[in-house]
Structure 1
Amino acid sequence: MSLSASLSTANSSLFVTGERTSIVSRNIANADRPFYSKKSVSVVTVPGSGVKSSQVIRAEQPVLFRKVLTSSAAAATQGARLDALNFLNGTINDVELGGSPSALMNSFSNALQTFSAQPHSKLAAEAAVRSARDLADGLNGAASIIQQVRNESETGIQASVNRVNSLLADFKTVNDTIVKGTISGSDVTDYLDQRDEILANLSNEIGIRTVARDNNDMAIYTDGGVTLFDRSPRSVEFQRTLNLTPGVPGNAVIIDGVAVTGANATMPLQSGRLIGLVEARDDISLTYQAQLDEMARVLITAFAESDQSGGGGPDQTGLFTWPGSPAVPPAGTLISGLSGSIRVNSAVDPDLGGDAVLLRDGGINGADYRYNGLAEASFTDRIDELIGNMSETYAFDPAAKLAAGTSVTGFAGASAAWLQEARKVADDAYSYQSTLLQRSYESFSNLTGVNLEEELALMLDLERSFQTSSKLVGVIDTMFTSLLAAIR
């Protein structure tokens, strides 16, 4: 080999070693960055000229990355559901504290039993009425919590939609740069990492599928099949309602003119934080709201007064009242928002100047509705009737998703059990999906991420290679010097 060829080989080795050292330094500097993939330089031998670098190669695992995206979307769905259920659990809290609708109903039933045992006691009558008021207040408070959950979910949906639109705009910028760089032969590996990170963030909000195209171009679709990005981002739209109406679902999310949430969705979303928030707003909360509303309706019905004069007057609300009073709610029909408006009739509330003894005697709606016409202090028929009404079987609206025929106290207990079961299922699902996401990301990172020990070892090898090439250049320089001196 001639000295010129040897010098060319040594110089090419130095140049390639410098490029490889630069890439290793880049790997080490970005080792802790999420979704940064390990880079390496592809080196080829050039006959007679040593070596040269052909391209920068990026570590990739497309199958594992897709698993990370689907796991992220599934975990976000369950996380949003669990957050809502944990908030709704505030209507129950510790059962021993007696603050749940079921516990308050049992306390009220016990107060009625006590009043029946001593019907002459005004204190027992007032205690029963106050227990009824605690029950009504408990239903009001639970309805308020549901409304808060729904409104916060609505706010979360708007924030999620805004984030999706922002991420799609960022995706277009990076994707365009990748396509142009690929066509021109530039190093686009760092931009590919950025694109992966955008996709990971996007999958947290909405379930996605990606399709790779020529020149590293990419299209994005929802997991329901709607186009999110195809050379340009599609518009994701949502009209937020500031204060949702009880019992009424919120507005749908629209992508590229197609509804992807709600009962009318033709290509519905399957996963992602967005769908979890919609389910919390329109499924979980509305079901629990229906259960509370049905409790309120049956309570009003169970404690209504009937005409005792024989005149055939209509039943009218008694101990419990509502905005539609004095009419009694229709049987078996859900009245949305009723749990938020049920009240104890002021005519029997001692703290509002009412007479609690009317609970024993009747007559809240006038003399025709009086059960104890002789005002007997030992009269218990009306109290016992009310106690029996709480144990009677009623028809409940199917929207409550509980047993259609049971007592109001049994229904309240079933409602508490439903909420706790839903919370447990969501907690288990969230734990599973979070673990699956963690394991998927770890596997992906182990195969594509930077191992600092390996990079530092490679850096030492490159230093030795650089030293060797430098010595070779020095030797060739000495030989050239000697040759030139000999010629002179």
Structure 2
Amino acid sequence: MSIANAISNAMSGLVATARGTETIAANLANVMTPGYARRELAVGPQGFGGGVRIDGITRIVNASLLSESRLATSAVGDSSTRAAFFGRMEDVIGLPGGDGALSTALTGFRTALGSAAARPDDDIRLSEVVNAASALATRLNGAADAVQAARGMAQQAIASDVAELNASLERVAYLNAQISILDADGKDASPLLDERQQVINRISDIVPVQEVARDRNKVALFTAEGAVLLDGSVPAKLGFEGAAQVTADQTVGAPLNLLTLNGAALTAGQMRLFGGGSLAANFAIRDELAPQVQQELDGLAFDLHQRLADADPSVGAADPGLFTDGGARASAAGIIGLAGRISVNALVVPGQGGEVWRLRAGLQAATGEPVGQTAVLNALVGAIDAVAPAAAGTGIAGSDSLLGRFSTVEAHVVSRRVGSEGELAIRSGRLTTISSSLMAEGVDSDAEMQRLLQYEQSYAANARVLRAVDEMMNQILGM
């Protein structure tokens, strides 16, 4: 080997050692950085003369684990969104027997009626019935308002998810182009590859996403159900329009919207293409879960309204009873949103010109005499306690007392919350396991330090060659 070849080989070794050391330093510095993939220096022999050729920097990524992690992230996003909704519903509807529960407000109203029936001549006790009835109506109103507020929040979250998804897809398309340019120039695109991985991870919170490798280090993105998000230079464009406030009578198409994909409106069947993440969960809350709770609340309000109207013999078929639908008689045809509109009949509210004696005499009675009559009050108590079949069109099945129905709805809400949290725990545990496996596949500081020692030895060996060459040159020049 000539002296020139020896110098060239040693210098190539020193350059490779320097690049390798930089790679290890970057790995150690980013050991906890999300989205960072471990780097390794790729080297090979430099032609027939020997030496080391740097072929580039290789990112070490377990594509299978990364894909599983993204799908698990989407599942957690779906479950956490649903669990948060059911938690809010439990807070406003209450636990059976809890201080803030609907059934507790009904029990307070029933107790006030029983107390008034024992002393129908006591206007204070009759006033307490009115107050308890108002408290019950207010609790129903508040629960219904909370349901619509949750639908409005879901509507806004959908708009936010769509905006984030579009922006992220644009960013992936841009990074694809930049990575392709660097790859064609033979430059290291690892930082951009890391960023692209992080952006795709953010997309996976919204929809389950699958990544497919394309030429020149580009990637294509599809949802788990096959919708094309990005395959080429132009990403898909999702659209969504909707007011921030949602009312109980609004349904899909009247006037609530679904997604549009590249300007074309998706049908309810096509929406499954985007199922599985926070986006789908918010649509489920707006269009299915919250309306189900609203239907149950409306059924309770209608049952309350009908029982007490039918128990008062002075109330005609078209007249409202103790509880009204905004002052009128409620009907099964107009039951949607009743829980948000139900109120106490103004005929018994002193502040609205009413008289409390109508509770003992009947709402439409001409006089409150005699003051000792208890038939109407006892009939109201009996109506609450009676086991009766649910009215048609209310969405409530079976026969039960009014308190039993209130407690059943509360138990349903609790059961859904517990079920959703259980599902969230399972999916979170799976994500944690996969994330741990990804971390194990990532930067191992002990292994990196061992590689650093190897580079140190390589550096010393190449430096020794250069020193030997220097000594030989000095001897030659000194002859």
Deviates more, 1:251-260 or 1:17-26: 251-260
Secondary structure (helix, strand or coil) at the match of 2:425 reads helix
Partner of 1:394: 389
Residue of structure 2 aligned with 1:445, choices 436, 439, 442? 439
Q: Please state how far the C-alpha of 1:424 moved relative to its aligned partner.
A: 0.8
For the 8 Å contact 2:81–2:282, the answer to whether it is kept is yes
Partner of 2:162: 161
The one-character-per-residue Cα deviations of 1:11-64 (angstroms, maximum 9, x if unpaired) are 221121122122122222322211111111122123332222222111110110
Stretches of structure 2 that go unaligned for 5 or more consecutive residues are none
What is the CA–CA distance in structure 2 between the aligned matches of 1:357 and 1:234, rounded to whole Å? Answer: 67
Aligned residues: 472
What is the CA–CA distance in structure 1 between the aligned matches of 2:391 and 2:431, rounded to whole Å? Answer: 41
The one-character-per-residue Cα deviations of 1:212-240 (angstroms, maximum 9, x if unpaired) are 22222221122232211121111111102
What is the CA–CA distance in structure 2 between the aligned matches of 1:280 and 1:323, rounded to whole Å? Answer: 27
For the 8 Å contact 2:311–2:379, the answer to whether it is kept is no
Amino acid at match of 2:468: V
Partner of 1:237: 239
Secondary structure (helix, strand or coil) at the match of 1:56 reads strand
The one-character-per-residue Cα deviations of 1:102-146 (angstroms, maximum 9, x if unpaired) are 211122122222223333333322222221111101111111211
Partner of 1:319: 322
For the 8 Å contact 2:73–2:204, the answer to whether it is kept is yes
Partner of 1:474: 467
Residues 143, 264 of structure 1: alpha-carbon distance in 2 compared, 3 angstrom cutoff = same
What is the CA–CA distance in structure 1 between the aligned matches of 2:119 and 2:402, rounded to whole Å? Answer: 24
- What is the aligned-residue RMSD (CA, Å)? 2.5
Amino acid at match of 1:45: P
Partner of 1:357: 357
Partner of 1:200: 201
Secondary structure (helix, strand or coil) at the match of 2:274 reads coil
1:220 lines up with 2:221 in the alignment: yes
Q: Please state how far the C-alpha of 1:307 moved relative to its aligned partner.
A: 9.3
Within-5 A mapping of 1:400-411:
400=395, 402-411=396-405
Secondary structure (helix, strand or coil) at the match of 1:54 reads strand
Residues 480, 239 of structure 1: alpha-carbon distance in 2 compared, 3 angstrom cutoff = same
Q: Please state how far the C-alpha of 1:266 moved relative to its aligned partner.
A: 5.2
What is the CA–CA distance in structure 1 between the aligned matches of 2:224 and 2:195, rounded to whole Å? Answer: 22
1:376 lines up with 2:370 in the alignment: yes
What is the CA–CA distance in structure 2 between the aligned matches of 1:337 and 1:161, rounded to whole Å? Answer: 29
Q: Please state how far the C-alpha of 1:419 moved relative to its aligned partner.
A: 0.8
Q: Please state how far the C-alpha of 1:157 moved relative to its aligned partner.
A: 1.4
For the 8 Å contact 1:126–1:356, the answer to whether it is kept is yes
Residues 396, 22 of structure 1: alpha-carbon distance in 2 compared, 3 angstrom cutoff = farther
Residue of structure 2 aligned with 1:256, choices 262, 269, 275? 262
Residues 112, 211 of structure 1: alpha-carbon distance in 2 compared, 3 angstrom cutoff = same
Q: Please state how far the C-alpha of 1:274 moved relative to its aligned partner.
A: 1.2
What is the CA–CA distance in structure 1 between the aligned matches of 2:392 and 2:13, rounded to whole Å? Answer: 81
Residues 268, 413 of structure 1: alpha-carbon distance in 2 compared, 3 angstrom cutoff = farther
Partner of 1:66: 67
Deviates more, 1:105-114 or 1:52-61: 105-114
Secondary structure (helix, strand or coil) at the match of 1:228 reads strand
Deviates more, 1:461-470 or 1:92-101: 92-101
Residues 374, 284 of structure 1: alpha-carbon distance in 2 compared, 3 angstrom cutoff = closer
For the 8 Å contact 1:171–1:198, the answer to whether it is kept is yes
Stretches of structure 1 that go unaligned for 5 or more consecutive residues are 368-372
Partner of 1:273: 278
Deviates more, 1:166-175 or 1:37-46: 37-46
Percent identity over paired residues: 26
Secondary structure (helix, strand or coil) at the match of 2:90 reads helix
1:329 lines up with 2:331 in the alignment: yes
What is the CA–CA distance in structure 2 between the aligned matches of 1:239 and 1:181, rounded to whole Å? Answer: 39
What is the CA–CA distance in structure 2 between the aligned matches of 1:140 and 1:412, rounded to whole Å? Answer: 15
Partner of 1:460: 453
Partner of 1:282: 287
Within-5 A mapping of 1:300-319:
300-304=305-309, 314-319=317-322
Residue of structure 2 aligned with 1:293, choices 295, 298, 307? 298
For the 8 Å contact 2:109–2:136, the answer to whether it is kept is yes
Residues 334, 353 of structure 1: alpha-carbon distance in 2 compared, 3 angstrom cutoff = closer
What is the CA–CA distance in structure 2 between the aligned matches of 1:336 and 1:286, rounded to whole Å? Answer: 10
Give the TM-score of the pair, scaled to structure 1.
0.89
Partner of 1:119: 120
What is the CA–CA distance in structure 2 between the aligned matches of 1:380 and 1:31, rounded to whole Å? Answer: 78
The one-character-per-residue Cα deviations of 1:326-349 (angstroms, maximum 9, x if unpaired) are x3413xx56221111111111112
What is the CA–CA distance in structure 2 between the aligned matches of 1:306 and 1:422, rounded to whole Å? Answer: 34
What is the CA–CA distance in structure 2 between the aligned matches of 1:253 and 1:113, rounded to whole Å? Answer: 53
Within-5 A mapping of 1:417-436:
417-436=411-430
What is the CA–CA distance in structure 2 between the aligned matches of 1:436 and 1:205, rounded to whole Å? Answer: 18
Residues 157, 328 of structure 1: alpha-carbon distance in 2 compared, 3 angstrom cutoff = closer
Q: Please state how far the C-alpha of 1:199 moved relative to its aligned partner.
A: 0.8
Partner of 2:348: 348
Q: Please state how far the C-alpha of 1:156 moved relative to its aligned partner.
A: 1.4
Q: Please state how far the C-alpha of 1:264 moved relative to its aligned partner.
A: 5.1
Q: Please state how far the C-alpha of 1:248 moved relative to its aligned partner.
A: 2.0
Secondary structure (helix, strand or coil) at the match of 1:31 reads coil
Q: Please state how far the C-alpha of 1:464 moved relative to its aligned partner.
A: 2.9
For the 8 Å contact 1:259–1:266, the answer to whether it is kept is no
Deviates more, 1:197-206 or 1:123-132: 123-132
Residues 313, 5 of structure 1: alpha-carbon distance in 2 compared, 3 angstrom cutoff = closer
Deviates more, 1:242-251 or 1:420-429: 242-251
Amino acid at match of 1:475: A
For the 8 Å contact 2:358–2:365, the answer to whether it is kept is no
Amino acid at match of 2:472: M
Give the TM-score of the pair, scaled to structure 2.
0.91
The one-character-per-residue Cα deviations of 1:355-409 (angstroms, maximum 9, x if unpaired) are 22212211x2355xxxxx8933443322232223222423256774x53543332
Secondary structure (helix, strand or coil) at the match of 1:157 reads helix
What is the CA–CA distance in structure 2 between the aligned matches of 1:202 and 1:52, rounded to whole Å? Answer: 38
Amino acid at match of 1:4: A
What is the CA–CA distance in structure 2 between the aligned matches of 1:119 and 1:406, rounded to whole Å? Answer: 28
For the 8 Å contact 1:258–1:266, the answer to whether it is kept is no
Q: Please state how far the C-alpha of 1:254 moved relative to its aligned partner.
A: 2.2
Partner of 1:385: 379
